[in-house]
Structure 1
Amino acid sequence: MISVFGSANMDLVAYTPVVPKRGETVTGRAFAAVPGGKGANQAVAAARAGADVAFMGAVGDDAFGPVVRETLGSAGVDVSRLRVVPGSSGVAHIVVDDDGGNSIIVVPGANGAVTAPSAEDLAVIARSDALLLQLELPMEAVVSAARQARVPVVLTPAPARELPRELLDAVDLIVPNEHEAEALTGLADPREALEALLELVPEAVITLGAEGALYGSRAGGRLRVPAVPVRAVDTTAAGDTFVGALAVARAEGRPQEEALRFAAAAAALSVQREGASTSMPGRAEIDAALR
């Protein structure tokens, strides 16, 4: 089982030929409201990739909350630990251009009310093969979950920010994209950034978009896995799909390179579709893409 302690949002997505510059108005070609949030996305990705998944977080008592809950539940995610708090659910305003690139503004809403995991949450986490964390919840809550997990902790350091030592000491695997890796290390070269990250945590994967991913461990292993060449339509959930699928493959005991290729195939399938949770592939699709 995979546990996810993280954010749940409603994504308000505008599709447009180009992202507007400051002070500029452009005409979009489509709009969608799709449940997302990095935590919820990773939970859906892991469930569709074949794992039992438990999600811990919060939504508001607004109209978005039940939609987010239903989306997670319909994907097979256990939402019994998803709290409802007064006020707005988290919202992400996303603009996607015709090249599949995006810009995102996240308004935390209910995610900002999440505190340290409860005893019941920790009991669920303790039965898991891994705990997935991101940085869209208050840092104190993330640190508390990591330190009390007692299972392997996988951290997606997004949105990128300075990470406290007590969090890094509790992380087993960190998975930034190349921009987040540079923000964390000050190094633009992903290979150099990888080595710097391994000074902080035992294992690291840097995702490189169309260039694939780099993996390293303190035990000495280094791998570069190519991306599956596809035409990207929407890259919004690519990283979360990668992390969710990678967690599943590692929990199944797959060799590291095989696990990375499984995650890369899942991410490649996701970028060919619009939306976040709506774009994530099922296990049969991922297995077929690897044949």
Structure 2
Amino acid sequence: MIVFCGYANNDVTVHVPHVPVLGERVQATAISQIDGGMNANAAVSAARMGAEVIFAGAVGPDARSTEFLAALEEDGVDTSWAPRDAFLSTAVVLIAQGGDRSIISQDDPNDADRIAAVAEKLAAAGGGRLFLDGYRAAFLPALDKRVSLVIDLDGCEDKNAALRAFALADHVIVGRSLWEGEFGIDVDQWTTLAAKHNTHLLVTDGSKGWTLATPNGDMTIEPAVSVDVVDAVGAGDCFGGTYIAFVDAGRSPVAAARLAGASAALACATAGPRGCPSRDELDSFTATLTTLTLQETR
């Protein structure tokens, strides 16, 4: 069982020729409203890979929230743990030609008390994996040993909070621009941190690929799978959801990361934040890839 607790968004997606700079005016080529949110997207991705998935992020009592949860259910996500006493947050996503994007997001109601309640409920249900996103690292309570923590750190602006969360997690996924660029944790420290805290560290780097540092000191570095990019919105969420779904199914972290990379590539070749493929689509795609890419994935 994997419980996802975090961002659920109503995404207002705006396609523009290029992402504007301060004071610049550009004409949108298309505007749409669709379901999104880091955590909800990752939950959908994991469910499409066949995992038992629960979404526990708080939403509202309104009709739009009902539609949002219904769409998750259609993808095989159990939403019975999602509180309805809050609101569905909004994100504005600017997508430029070529797939570059900027995101303006509204904070959501998933505070420390809500996260603690979800962790306690998961432990009482017999345990499983708890998947948190971004800044929620600062909210982490002491965890029951039956709860295995997974964190996507993108969106966390506090290095100290990120490192506290790292010490509690079994798996941490983070973008290289944040981990190395903003936090200053360079590649020479990754295996040391993973070994010290018995944590699998998966650092994603967009079109350059990914790096996995394991608690036993191993490091695997692999390039991204090449595709024609439509837009990259939600590709990182797809990567995280696919990765933890296969880890939960018993695949090795390296094998899971390879499958996640292929899944994220397919997401980039599809418009929208939930372009993650189905399991059958992923299997068909990986069958066309090289022996190196397929190593350990079966």
State the TM-score, normalized to the length of structure 1.
0.88
Unaligned runs of at least 5 residues, structure 2: 288-298
Distance 1:115 1:153 in 2: 12
The answer on whether the counterparts of 1:73 and 1:79 sit within 8 Å (CA) in structure 2 is yes
The count of corresponding residues between Structure 1 and Structure 2 is 282
Distance change in 2, residues 1:136/1:80 (3 Å): farther
Residue 192 of structure 1 aligns with which residue? 188
Q: Counterpart of 1:78 in structure 2: which amino acid?
A: D
Q: Deviations over 1:149-188 (max 9, x none)?
A: 623211111213224365333111111011121256414x
SS of aligned partner of 2:97: coil
CA contact (8 A) 1:2 1:52 kept: yes
**Equivalent position of 1:245 in the other structure:** 242
Q: Which residue of 1 aligns with 2:226?
A: 229
Aligned to 1:105: 104
1:280 aligns with 2:276: yes
**What whole-Å deviation, never above 9, does each CA across 1:229-279 have from its counterpart, x for those lacking one?**
0121111111110111111111122233321111111100101111112x1
CA contact (8 A) 1:269 1:281 kept: yes
Indicate which of 261, 264, 270 corresponds to 1:264.
Answer: 261
Contact 2:137 2:153 in 1 (8 A): no
Partner of 2:175: 177
Instruction: Give the TM-score of the pair, scaled to structure 2.
Output: 0.87
Structure 2 residue 163 is the aligned partner of structure 1 residue 204? no
SS of alignment partner, residue 58 of structure 1: coil
Quote the sequence identity (%).
30
Q: Report the aligned-residue RMSD.
A: 2.2
Which amino acid in 2 is paired with 1:11? Answer: D
Please give the residue correspondences for 1:157-172 in structure 2 after superposition, counting only pairs within 5 Å.
157-162=153-158, 163-164=160-161, 166-172=164-170
Counterpart for residue 124 of structure 2: 123
Please state if 1:68 is matched with 2:65: no
Q: Secondary structure at 1:61's aligned position in 2? A: coil
For the residues of structure 1 that align with 2:34 and 2:244, how far apart are their CA atoms? 23
